[in-house]
Structure 1
């Protein structure tokens, strides 16, 4: 595992390369020798504020950006729930800008009333068949098919046939509230 000094150096190097600056260019802009910058990037020189401030200013990053943070647990631990006969399993953290759900639509004969809201929806049918009413169109999507549409167009969905349909749906917050009625 890298030491904190080595991590600062590696992050500095990545920021410099991302900015498409050579070692010589950044060192000159920050008022230091290329060898000093090279030693900072390789972790062979202690990083001081006196050295880091001109570097971070030139790179357009904050000093905090140089400190590696412990990665948080990436798992999403939100329980599935039932709503209107559907099983809704959240797949993204609660406050994500785009919310993703696995929704299981039960076998049904009746199509719900079409809804309208701001945003776009993207969906992918994992299994079964999904009936999508989109404006005047009535479409049946098979497993492996996807659809994307402007949610200002009246739309409704249900399973097509005798088996449930499992779907991955991605929406913005307004769409998630309407389609999943988040508890």
Structure 2
């Protein structure tokens, strides 16, 4: 067996144990839900049983993860294939859709209710509302945007954005450093 393949296979058991424990499940819970014996699951987690698709597919379903997370498939380099959501300290979740340092960055945000706190910095921002109602504060002006609406602004203007009410808002956020701006070549 190829050394790289052997290394990937040896990591599956500990990864399965970590995922199961993070879900607060016992071997007995998982065995019941997958119709797999506790002994088989234990041997799989300790590396004493070779992982097969027949074993991994039901586990992926119960743990609600992609098979490539269990197997730790090599990355493709495309962040859209292996999205890495991150919780923000001020509330909400951010998912980077691009990774181009020094160029325009694209993020998907799900923002929960929070108090406005104005910020300013170099760059240019574009927002597109996917779901919910967005409250955008730009200096002394306030705006409410609904799904399908956009905003574009200079990030050096004190600004804040979040949900307009008590429910989350989902947006696409593009940010260009150092004043980079989008150039519209086609309009209708």
Instruction: State the TM-score, normalized to the length of structure 2.
Output: 0.49
Where does residue 167 of structure 1 map in the other structure? Answer: 171
> Relative to structure 1, is the Cα distance of residues 97 and 103 closer, same or farther in structure 2, using a 3 angstrom cutoff?
same
Alignment pair present for 1:79 and 2:87: no
Q: Distance in 2 between matches of 1:126 and 1:75?
A: 20
Q: Contact between 2:79 and 2:96, CA under 8 Å: does it hold in 1?
A: no
Structure 1 unaligned segments of length 5 or more: list them: 1-71, 176-183
5 Å-filtered alignment, 1:138-177, equals 138-173=142-177
Q: Distance in 2 between matches of 1:115 and 1:164?
A: 20
Deviation at 1:156, TM superposition (A): 0.6
- Provide the secondary structure at the position in 1 that maps to 2:165: coil
Q: Distance in 2 between matches of 1:143 and 1:160?
A: 12
Residues 135-182 of structure 1: CA deviation (Å, up to 9, x unaligned): 11011111110000011111011101121100100113579xxxxxxx
Where does residue 69 of structure 2 map in the other structure? Answer: none
Alignment pair present for 1:103 and 2:109: yes
Instruction: State the TM-score, normalized to the length of structure 1.
Output: 0.51
Structure 1 segments, 4+ long, off by >4 Å, are 72-75
Q: Distance in 1 between matches of 2:178 and 2:91?
A: 21
Equivalent residue for 2:127, pick from 111, 116, 123: 123
Structure 2 unaligned segments of length 5 or more: list them: 1-75, 180-188
Q: Distance in 2 between matches of 1:97 and 1:159?
A: 27
Q: Distance in 1 between matches of 2:79 and 2:158?
A: 34
Deviation at 1:75, TM superposition (A): 5.0
